[in-house]
Structure formats: C-alpha cells, structure tokens
Amino acid sequence: MTTRESAGVLDPFRQFFSMKRDVLVLSLAMFAFSLGFQMTNRFLPDYLVYLGAGGFVVGLFATLGNVIGAVYPYYGGVVSDRVGSRYALTVFGFLSTFGFVIWLVSAYVPAIDLGAFVLEPWVWVFVGLLLAQCWKSFGIGGHYAIVKQATEPSRLARGFASTETFRRTAFLIAPLIVAVLVVDELMPGFLWVLVIAIVFAILGTIAQHFLYEAEADTVGSAFEGFGQIVDDLRALPDALRPLLVADALVRFANGMVYAFFILVITQVMEIGLTLSLPVFGTVDLSPAAFFGVLLSVEMFVALLTMAPAAKIAEYTGLKPVVGLGFFVYAIFPIVLIFAPENAWVLIALFAFSGLRFAGLPAHKALIVGPAERGAGGRVTGSYYFVRGAIVIPSGALGGFLWQFVAPETSFVLASIIGMIGVAYFVIFGQEFEAYQ
C-alpha cells in the first residue's frame, strides 16, 4: 500500500489483515472488550440513578473513573514493558470480567444498614469500576507498544486507525444491542446487557491469550519505584508537552459532563424516538434506548471519518487533524445542553460529535511516535498518568454543578475550558517529525 492510495471506510480493514498477527489479535480483543464497555459504561449513570444515586454521586463515579484513568495506564505500561503484552493483557482481561460481574450483582444487593451509615447498592458499582476498567486502562500501554513495534513511523496514524476502527465498530454495534434490550425502559434489560458484556470479556481474554504471539513483545527494564515515575515524566519527548497541556484541558472539560450526556436525554429532556419500521411497524424507543441510537450514530460517523483523517494526516501533518478532534470535544457540551428537544436535531448533533474521533488515530500517533522502541508502553503510561491526574476532579466538579447549581452551568463551563485547550494547542502544539 503506498501513501498515495486513497483512504476509505474499508482501508483500516484491509490494513488490518495485512498487519502482523499480534496487531490482528489485539484488534479482535479490542472489539470484544469494547463491545462490553460501550454496552455498559455509557449507561451506568442511569443505572446508578436507578439504584438510588443522585447527580453528585454520578459525578463522583466519573471522578473515580478519572482516578483509574490516571493511575492504571502508567503501571499497566510498566507491566507491559516488563513482562510482555500477552500476559499483562490476559490478567487485565480477567479482572475486567470480574468487574462486569460485580455490576450485575449490584442490582440484587439490598441496602445494608451499618448503624452510622447505610451502604447503598450503588456503592458496588464503584467497586466494580475498579476492576472493570483494568483491561481498558492497564492495557493502554500494551496497545500502544504493540502497534508501534508493528508499524512504520510514517504510518502510525493508519496503524492506530486499523485497531481503532475495529474498536469503534464495537462501539457502533453495542448501543444498538442496548437499545433493543431497553426499548421500553432501562431495567430489567440492562441486566441482560451486563450478562452479554461478561460473555464477550471472557471470549476476548481467552482469544488474546492463546492467539497472541509473545515472541513479538519488546521487554523493557524492571520498575524501580516512584522515582522512576518522576524520571519518566521528565524524559517525556518535547513534542508531547504542549500536546499534554492541551489534551488535559480538553479532557478535563469533557470529564465534567461526559457521564451526564445520558442524563440530558433521559432526565432533562426525557425524549425518546418513534420509528416506523417495515417489519416491526411503529416502535417507540424509551429515552435510554434513544440514547443508544444516538451513540451508534456518533460511532457511524467516527468509522466513516477515521481512515480518511489518518490518510489526510500524512499530507497535512498530525496537528491539524488532532486539533479538529479537540475542537469537537470542546464545543459539544454547550451545543448539547441548549439543543432543541427534537429527536432529529439530537441525531444530527451526535453525528457531529462523531467527528471528534476522526483525530484519535493521529492523536495516538503523536503520543507514541517520539518514543524509543521498547519504551512505548512507559511513554504512553506516563502521558496518561499526568493527563489523568489533572482530570481527576472534573467529574466531581461537574456533578456538584449539575445537582447544586444547574446542569447548564456545568456544560457551559466545560466548553469554555475545552476551548482554552484548543487555543493552546493551535498556538504551541508541535508536529511529529515523521509527518513533517
């Protein structure tokens, strides 16, 4: 494949089958786990409300996710570089599967009166999150390192487009599965969603363990404690520093409101969708089911645009494509919260939101590209450690504003912070040499 060939929707799939076996296996595992994550994570805020949680608790749940996003990737990257991606991802996969099991059991655990306080059922959703995010967060370093070692530097964006396309294909399918199961209301269909997630997590873990070729792993040095974290942060390539600042601002903004997107549809607007289908006749979708349709629309646009955007990056450089993704991230909250309560307007809006994923392969290439071979996992882990640490309080802040001030305040402030990050990246962002 030459760099002058046109890129289309099927380009990542063709590249997928032409890449090394380890990347192929990784993509299949990503599909399985992403199906489970997307069927559950985006709907968990509504699940928490069902179990008795308020808006601030939802924000705290998002903050716990941010803590995990800060801490897990670094240590996951270290483990991946040290013992190899195969064994690391297998352990992370089984831990994630158990997390899904805890989410399922949460619906059947009654409130426990401990005297001084009552242990509400939604607490177990927090416990499950600590495990369910293991493959996704611990495995980031292994994912980046595998793609880097199997891809030419000038084609990193397309290498990530291949794995991301399979991941986002799961993101397209998963919400539709949820929409079918919660067509009338969230429960009890969501419990079946969790069962399906458990099955796919088990299959993904087994497949990646037995099909992945461990000989392809590059193994780094042993972990030397907290001092190594400081050394790794100081050793981050210069090109990553402005990207990290801008990315942290944009992600902080997104973290304030991300968990509340579903609540805007199901609690604020309370808007569903009525469809006339040839075989099924008229179908009335509940707000939760409609949210699933919106997520699928978003992912459909993402799949259409990621491959062309990765190709465009080979001509324009990574920075413009990454900047586009940042802009969509930043502007979406304020547009969503003030959108008319019209189903078709919301469909168009979530289609626009899908463009934020167009810059994701280029973004990943810009992160791991400057890293030395054998250190991709640790560079990635260090980057996400810093970004995640900065983003940690965003969920709690967004939840506080949502419950005690006004949802509009949270979403407007999020867009302001996000646009500051976009402006910073436009002014100070650097290009990866292989794309210059």
Residue 2 lies in a domain: no
Q: From CA 140, how far away is CA 383, in angstroms rounded?
A: 11
Residue 247 banded pLDDT, cuts 50, 70, 90: very high
Q: Is the dihedral of CA 245, 249, 252, 254 positive or negative?
A: negative
CB 213 within 8 A of CB 22: yes
Residue 198 token pair: 């458990």
Percent of the chain with pLDDT over 90: 41
Residue 6 lies in a domain: no
Which residue has better confidence, 389 or 296?
296
CB 367 within 8 A of CB 383: yes
3-state secondary structure of 17: helix
3-state secondary structure of 276: strand
Can you tell me which residue has the tokens 């991301």?
164
Report the chain's mean pLDDT, rounded to a whole number: 81
Question: Which one, of 131, 132, 135, 111, lies nearest residue 123 by Cα?
Answer: 111
Residue 162 banded pLDDT, cuts 50, 70, 90: low
Full domain range(s) for residue 123: 11-435
Q: From CA 137, how far away is CA 48, in angstroms rounded?
A: 22
Q: From CA 129, how far away is CA 364, in angstroms rounded?
A: 24
The pLDDT of residue 27 is 66
Residue 382 lies in a domain: yes
Residue 1 lies in a domain: no
Residue 281 token pair: 């006749």
For position 246, which CATH number holds?
1.20.1250.20
Residue 253 token pair: 């903004």
The pLDDT of residue 215 is 53
Question: Which one, of 326, 359, 371, 316, lies nearest residue 147 by Cα?
Answer: 371
Q: From CA 352, how far away is CA 348, in angstroms rounded?
A: 6
Assign 3-state DSSP to the chain and report helix, strand, coil percentages, each to 5.
75, 5, 20
The pLDDT of residue 220 is 43
Residue 267 banded pLDDT, cuts 50, 70, 90: very high
3-state secondary structure of 260: helix
* 115 φ/ψ sector (left φ>0, alpha ψ -120 to 50, else beta): left
pLDDT at 45 over 60: yes
pLDDT at 97 over 70: yes
Residue 137 lies in a domain: yes
The pLDDT of residue 279 is 72
Instruction: Give residue 308's identity as a one-letter amino acid code.
Output: P
Which residue has better confidence, 73 or 33?
33
Residue 228 banded pLDDT, cuts 50, 70, 90: low
Can you tell me which residue has the tokens 């069927």?
39
CB 125 within 8 A of CB 104: no
Which residue has better confidence, 162 or 110?
110
> For residue 119, what are the β-bridge partners?
112
First and final C-alpha spacing in the chain: 20
The pLDDT of residue 6 is 46
pLDDT digits (tens, 9 = 90+) for 285-299: 899 999 999 999 998
Q: What is the mean pLDDT of residues 137-149?
A: 58
Can you tell me which residue has the tokens 């401990």?
114
pLDDT digits (tens, 9 = 90+) for 319-346: 888 999 999 999 999 999 999 999 999 9
Q: What distances in angstroms separate CA 135 from CA 9, 23, 64, 164, 244, one per listed residue?
A: 27, 16, 16, 15, 23
CB 173 within 8 A of CB 293: no
pLDDT digits (tens, 9 = 90+) for 68-82: 877 776 666 666 666
Q: From CA 105, how far away is CA 128, in angstroms rounded?
A: 10
Q: From CA 144, how far away is CA 158, in angstroms rounded?
A: 13
Which residue has better confidence, 30 or 327?
327
Q: From CA 394, how far away is CA 126, in angstroms rounded?
A: 17
- Tell me which H or E stretch contains 211: helix 189-211
Q: How many domains does the chain have?
A: 1
CB 174 within 8 A of CB 34: yes
For residue 314, the number of C-alpha atoms closer than 13 Å in the C-beta half-sphere is 20
Residue 308 banded pLDDT, cuts 50, 70, 90: confident
pLDDT at 60 over 80: yes
Q: What is the mean pLDDT of residues 359-384?
A: 66
Q: From CA 291, how far away is CA 343, in angstroms rounded?
A: 10
> For residue 284, what are the β-bridge partners?
274
Q: What is the DSSP letter of 170?
A: H
Residue 288 lies in a domain: yes
pLDDT at 192 over 50: yes
The pLDDT of residue 1 is 40
